[in-house]
Amino acid sequence: MTEENLPARVRRRPEDKGFEQLKLVSPHGAEYWSARDLQPLLGYNHWRSFDKAIAKAITSCRQSGNDPEHHFARARKVVPLGSGSEREVRDYHLSRFACYLIAQNGDPRKPEIALAQKYFAIQTRRQELSDAYQHDMERLELRKQTTEEFKALSGAARNAGVQNKMFGVFHDAGYKGLYGGLGSEQIKTRKRIGKSENLLDRMGTTELAANQFRMTQTREKLAKEAIQGQQRAIDTHKQVGKEVRDAIRRIGGTMPENLPPAEDIKQVRKRLKGRTPPLELNGPDAKDLAGQEE
């Protein structure tokens, strides 16, 4: 009796389980699947045919720029025989990415392969949605923090002697320091943002973070050095903005005036309000058998 024709009654029945239930975990915490367990789930009755599908997947892995050895590890598996004895057969330990490639390179006439391809397509879309959701949440939270910091900085400016009618000049000084001399209205013109729009509402996460840092450092400097006087406070805000700009330049970052405007935060808030967090994968599809991302 050949290894690919072992009687079904004496085999383990991985076909009774779903893909995620067949997942195994290595001693160092990396997830993997046994090709022998996956074989019946994908509709292959004979190992020889499934081995050909694996070979195609290995070629596809190499052509995609990934090292097959990181995703297809040769192994041995002990299976029971009808006589009650056991036999060792060839096997592969497969990463999630390898399973995906096998499904993509499998026989499309098999309904099991079609279902597997659909499964991975859904999982990939879920990950895309999850990434987009996390990005939206991060930006919304940062925008909230910037609003609070703006209020706190205004309070610190008032304590330093800035009059209400000069608040616009004070806040514009920070923008001019950070944006190479451009005030808020000039920034809007450069980025083609409507005059009635709130500039902070059109900033992406990187730009928001830079402005939040500028505000935080200005507020702390006003308090720590007990700065008093309207003009001194304005000059301090502009100087802190310049120093943040210099830091961005030193680390090779993009100058804030060159960052593109982001989607209006109101649209992000509306989108998040109408949906719940999507399901996430157990890990990036391309993790290898060592648990590392390719």
What was the pLDDT predicted at 125? 63
Q: Where are the chain's structural domains? A: 3-107, 132-273
Residue 166 contacts by C-beta under 8 Å, 6 or more apart in sequence? 230, 234
Confidence of residue 218 (pLDDT cuts 50, 70, 90): very high
pLDDT(223) > 70: yes
State whether residue 160 is helix, strand or coil.
coil
According to DSSP, residue 75 is labeled E
Residue 181 confidence (pLDDT) above 70: yes
Task: State how far the Cα of 127 lies from the Cα of 133, in Å rounded to an integer.
Answer: 10
% of the chain with per-residue pLDDT over 90: 53
- Amino acid at site 138: E
With tokens 């001194």, the residue in question is 232
CA dihedral 71, 72, 74, 80 (to 10 degrees): 110
Q: Name residue, tokens 């301090």.
A: 236
Q: What percent of the chain has pLDDT over 70?
A: 83
pLDDT at residue 117, rounded to an integer? 78
Whole-angstrom distance, CA of residue 250 vs CA of residue 246? 6
What pLDDT, in 10s, does the model give residues 124-172? 666 656 667 778 888 888 899 999 999 999 999 999 999 999 999 999 9
Digit-coded pLDDT (tens) for 10-54: 333 433 457 888 889 988 888 899 999 999 989 899 999 999 999
Q: Rounded mean pLDDT of 178-196? A: 95
State the amino acid at position 74 in one-letter form: R
Residue 269 burial (10 A CB sphere; 0-12, 13-18, 19+): middle
Question: Does 265 or 84 have the greater pLDDT score?
Answer: 265
- Phi, then psi, of 281 in degrees rounded to 5: -70, 165
Is the predicted pLDDT of residue 190 greater than 80, yes or no? Answer: yes
Query: How far apart (Å, rounded) are the C-alpha atoms in residues 190 and 100?
Result: 45
The CA distance from 215 to 231, in Å, is 17
Residue 5's pLDDT is what?
42
What is the chain's mean pLDDT, rounded? 84
76 DSSP assignment: E
